Structure 1
Amino acid sequence: MTQSDRIRLDNIGLLALVGAGKMGGAMLEGWLALGLDPQNVAVLEPNPSDDLVALSMKGVALNPPAGAISNIGTVVLAVKPQMAASVMPSVASLTGAGTLVLSIMAGKTLGFLEAGLPGAAIVRAMPNTPAAIGRGITVAVPNAAVTADQKARADALLAASGSVEWISDEALMDAVTAVSGSGPAYVFLLAESLARAGVAAGLPEALAARLARETVAGAGELLHRSPLDPATLRQNVTSPAGTTAAALDVLMAADGLEPLMRRAVAGAAERSRELAG
């Protein structure tokens, strides 16, 4: 879907956000920055942050009384998956004919959502934490009740925090969660490990931490901007029999990074399936 196909955020209509923790709060800030009218937003969050309270001063309705809002066009469900069962009655009370439910809960399937919201148009999505700076990537799957206009509305909301990919096979979502949903943590661990390795090689701790941080961030930005694939970028840094090649001999060994990453992603995917029940 191209930018011209997307519904402008100032035409989204009334939106209810259920859960405004780190991910939900970051997405809300992105929507407001891109033109969503605060007067058209209601947030249900039992433990609002100071930032969320400040947004309520600008027109966002924070924890309005039951029945105080109606004709909601979109409900965004952003609570932790462990809380899903307890909030479904509240979500059901917010939905009506034509309401789109957009869930970003990890592991909770369309089937689970449909059981609590019979007949509702539902999009299940998996964003990741770089959404907080507009550099996230989200994978989304709609149920059969979602119309073209509702899909475009969901796309506009998700695209406010980065790239969006749509799939038709929900079974892929466990692997999506393991790769992109959890993936930022793997990259942060790489930066941690690289810094510790630098200290072990003799660098002062502060310098090692800065070198690792800037190297990971810079390489990520190069990967983002370059049309080249990761393998080519890696090869471009690697001189035959040089220092990088010596390190890659270790990382690319039969028991090196790739089999370790496969086990990590498999573990995360299995946990995603467990959360689905």
Structure 2
Amino acid sequence: MSPQIAFLGAGNMATAMINGLLASGFSPSQLRASDPSEAALSRLQSLGLSQLNTSPQHIFIDADLVVVAVKPQVAPEALAAIRDQIGPNTAILSIAAGIPIASLQAAVDPTVPVIRCMPNTPAMIGKGASGLFATAQASDAHRALAEQVTNAVGMTMWVPSEALLDAVTAVSGSGPAYFFALIESIIAAGVDLGLDQQTAVALTLQTAIGAAELAGRSELPISTLRENVTSPGGTTEQALLALQSHQFDEIITHAVQACAERARTLGEEFG
């Protein structure tokens, strides 16, 4: 029997996942969703889904996987509302940032398999990076189904402990913002050097895309790729020396660590 996936919440991330699942071969009849927004459900209806409701009543019965895609502060309450629909073979995949597994299980049942996911915003265009952790109750089939969901919007990495999702948050969950900030700074510097805005934006974005693509395809270490661009006494060397003189590595490390610490704190608050 074809697996059934039900989405609790039909916002942007849920919609991206549903789009990705449909593109990967899932039938609209395998996907369901509940969301109080008629507009959100209308978008899914246009994709061919028919099992849609502004009320969660009956939507989650017999689902193999329930994807919790509501705002973190309401996730436990929203789950508790469908507790009676969670069957013995149903697993939960939560993309509600910061909500610990203990809180999710407390809302339904401690024996329910839970998989926590930390996605990121490039999932909206199918280029996301998701970190997943599963409880011991999750079967191989549950894990495989959850991975189908996250692979539909990018790539997936599993971590061996729930605590490591804070590191995932710091590296990839919040990571796009770091790259956007760097892109903004390079564009501004290019404009200061005399480039017009359009040219600075185009050159910077293509350089970022090309560097990432090269790093992903190459068998060489990232450090070697950097060294290959850095001729002794050349222009790139001067730029990197300027970064080092302002403790570039230390700044990045501090930023990522601050993010991870905030993720831990939020987890404790939500827990």
Give TM-score, length-normalised by structure 1.
Answer: 0.89
Output the amino acid matched with 2:152. A
Output the amino acid matched with 1:44. S
Tell me which of 157, 163, 169 is aligned to 1:165: 157
Distance 2:16 2:2 in 1: 18
Tell whether the 8 Å contact from 2:230 to 2:237 is kept in structure 1 after alignment. Answer: yes
Is 1:105 the counterpart of 2:111 in the alignment? no
Distance 1:218 1:49 in 2: 37
Tell me which of 37, 41, 45 is aligned to 1:47: 37
User: Which residue of structure 2 lines up, in the alignment, with residue 84 of structure 1?
Assistant: 75
User: Which residue of structure 1 lines up, in the alignment, with residue 45 of structure 2?
Assistant: 56
Deviation at 1:83, TM superposition (A): 2.4
User: Which residue of structure 2 lines up, in the alignment, with residue 204 of structure 1?
Assistant: 196
Deviation at 1:64, TM superposition (A): 5.4
User: Which residue of structure 2 lines up, in the alignment, with residue 116 of structure 1?
Assistant: 107
Question: Are residues 190 and 30 of structure 1, via their aligned partners in 2, closer, same or farther at CA, if it must alter by over 3 Å?
Answer: same
Tell me which of 250, 264, 268 is aligned to 2:259: 268
Distance 1:189 1:239 in 2: 26
User: Which residue of structure 2 lines up, in the alignment, with residue 13 of structure 1?
Assistant: 3
- Aligned partner of residue 163 in structure 1, secondary structure: strand
Tell whether the 8 Å contact from 2:9 to 2:70 is kept in structure 1 after alignment. Answer: yes
Q: Deviations over 1:197-250 (max 9, x none)?
A: 111122112211111111111111111211222111111111111110000001
Question: Are residues 81 and 66 of structure 1, via their aligned partners in 2, closer, same or farther at CA, if it must alter by over 3 Å?
Answer: closer
User: Which residue of structure 2 lines up, in the alignment, with residue 6 of structure 1?
Assistant: none
Is 1:35 the counterpart of 2:32 in the alignment? no
Q: Deviations over 1:46-91 (max 9, x none)?
A: 23556x5143142342225443332111100112212223312234
Distance 2:221 2:38 in 1: 42
Distance 2:161 2:167 in 1: 12
- Aligned partner of residue 132 in structure 2, secondary structure: strand
User: Which residue of structure 2 lines up, in the alignment, with residue 176 of structure 1?
Assistant: 168
Distance 1:48 1:211 in 2: 41
Tell whether the 8 Å contact from 2:36 to 2:55 is kept in structure 1 after alignment. Answer: no
Is 1:24 the counterpart of 2:14 in the alignment? yes
Tell whether the 8 Å contact from 1:41 to 1:61 is kept in structure 2 after alignment. Answer: yes
Distance 2:249 2:204 in 1: 20
Count the aligned residue pairs. 265
Of stretches 88-97 and 260-269 in structure 1, the one that deviates more from structure 2 is: 88-97
Question: Are residues 197 and 66 of structure 1, via their aligned partners in 2, closer, same or farther at CA, if it must alter by over 3 Å?
Answer: closer
Distance 1:32 1:106 in 2: 24
Is 1:131 the counterpart of 2:123 in the alignment? yes
Output the amino acid matched with 2:258. G
Could you tell me which runs of 5 or more consecutive residues in structure 1 were left unpaired when the two chains were aligned: 1-10
Output the amino acid matched with 2:168. V
Deviation at 1:260, TM superposition (A): 1.1
Tell whether the 8 Å contact from 1:177 to 1:269 is kept in structure 2 after alignment. Answer: yes
Is 1:238 the counterpart of 2:227 in the alignment? no
Question: Are residues 94 and 259 of structure 1, via their aligned partners in 2, closer, same or farther at CA, if it must alter by over 3 Å?
Answer: farther
Distance 2:169 2:153 in 1: 17
Q: Deviations over 1:97-154 (max 9, x none)?
A: 1101001121111112121121111111112222223322211111121112211221
Tell me which of 232, 236, 243 is aligned to 1:251: 243
Tell me which of 140, 143, 147 is aligned to 1:148: 140
Of stretches 155-164 and 56-65 in structure 1, the one that deviates more from structure 2 is: 56-65
- Aligned partner of residue 142 in structure 2, secondary structure: helix
Tell whether the 8 Å contact from 1:81 to 1:275 is kept in structure 2 after alignment. Answer: no
- Aligned partner of residue 66 in structure 2, secondary structure: strand
Q: Deviations over 1:150-200 (max 9, x none)?
A: 112212222222222112211111111010111111111111111001111
